[in-house]
Amino acid sequence: MNDVEDVITIDGPAASGKSSVARRVAGELGIPFVSSGLLYRVAALLVEEGAGDPGDEREVMARLTGTVVRLLPSLQGDRLTVDGRDVTDGLHTDAIDASVSAVARHPRVRAWVTERLREIPGPFVIDGRDMGTTVFPGARAKFYLTAPPEVRARRRVGERAADLREVADAMRRRDRLDAAQSAPAPDALHIDTGDLTLDEVVSQVMDALSGVGAA
C-alpha cells in the first residue's frame, strides 16, 4: 500500500473544480494527479456496454472482476484501460453521468475502487468524494471544494454544450445519490470556489500546503 503521508486529497461535489485544481496542484508539485471518479465511471461504462443493470451489484462486480482495469495517472489527464483498450474518452458522457451514482453506491464496488487506489504508489494528488474520509484518512493534507449549485451547473454547461436547466437537474440528482459518500473529512480545509478563479483556488491550496511542509 502507498504511504498515506504522500497523498493530498481534494474532495467535493461535481464541478466544484476538484479535478482542474488537483491537476494544477500536482503539476506545481511535480507529482501525478489521480482522478478516483474514473474508476466509478469505468464500472458504469462496462455495465452500459453490456446493456446491464447498474442497480445489480453482483452483475457490476462480475463485469469489473472479469476484466483488467488499469488507471494510468498522467498530468495531461489520467487514462483508463480495460483489457488494454483505452476507454478514457467515453467516460464523461451524459449517459455515464446519469448511471454512475447507481453503480457507485454498491459497497463491493466501493471496496474494489478503494483497493485499486491504495495500490497506486505515492506521492500523488487525488480527487473524489471520500478520498479524505474512507480511502486515505491519514493523508498529509485534505481539501474540500464547494461552490453554489447554480455556479457548478453553469461550469458544466460550458464543458458539455448542454441545456442549463437539464444540467442543473441532473447535478442535483447526482448530489443526492452521492450524499452517502460525500461528507467532508473533519480535518479538510474547505474552499468555496464560487467567486474564485482557478488560479486563486490553486494558490490557496499551495499556500495551505506550504504551511504543512508539503510544498
Q: Quote the least distance from Cβ 60 to ligand CDP, whole Å.
A: 13
Of the residues 34, 64, 130, 188, which one makes contact with ligand CDP according to CB under 6 A: 130
Among the listed ranges 1-9, 69-77, 80-88, 98-106, the one in contact with ligand CDP (CB under 6 A) is: 98-106
Of the residues 7, 8, 9, 16, which one makes contact with ligand CDP according to CB under 6 A: 16
Q: Say which residues have a Cβ less than 8 Å from residue 170's Cβ, sequence separation at least 6.
A: 94, 97, 98
Measure the CA–CA gap between 55 and 76, rounded to whole angstroms: 33
Of the residues 196, 206, 208, 215, which one makes contact with ligand CDP according to CB under 6 A: 196
Among the listed ranges 12-20, 25-33, 50-58, 72-80, the one in contact with ligand CDP (CB under 6 A) is: 12-20
Q: Say which residues have a Cβ less than 8 Å from residue 148's Cβ, sequence separation at least 6.
A: 194
Q: Quote the least distance from Cβ 8 to ligand CDP, whole Å.
A: 14
Measure the CA–CA gap between 35 and 19, rounded to whole angstroms: 7
Closest CA to 25 of 166, 173, 182, 205: 205
Is 158 within 8 Å of 112 (Cβ atoms)?
Answer: no
Of the residues 106, 146, 181, 205, which one makes contact with ligand CDP according to CB under 6 A: 181
Site string for ligand CDP, 23-62 (x = CB under 6 A): -------------xx--xx---------------------
Q: Quote the least distance from Cβ 50 to ligand CDP, whole Å.
A: 19
Measure the CA–CA gap between 109 and 50, rounded to whole angstroms: 17
Answer left, alpha or beta for residue 192, where phi above 0 means left and psi between -120 and 50 means alpha. Answer: beta
Q: Count how many residues are written for the chain.
A: 215
In the complex, the residues that contact ligand CDP under the rule CB under 6 A are 12, 14-20, 36-37, 40-41, 100-101, 104, 128-131, 155, 158-159, 174, 178, 181, 193, 196-198, 201
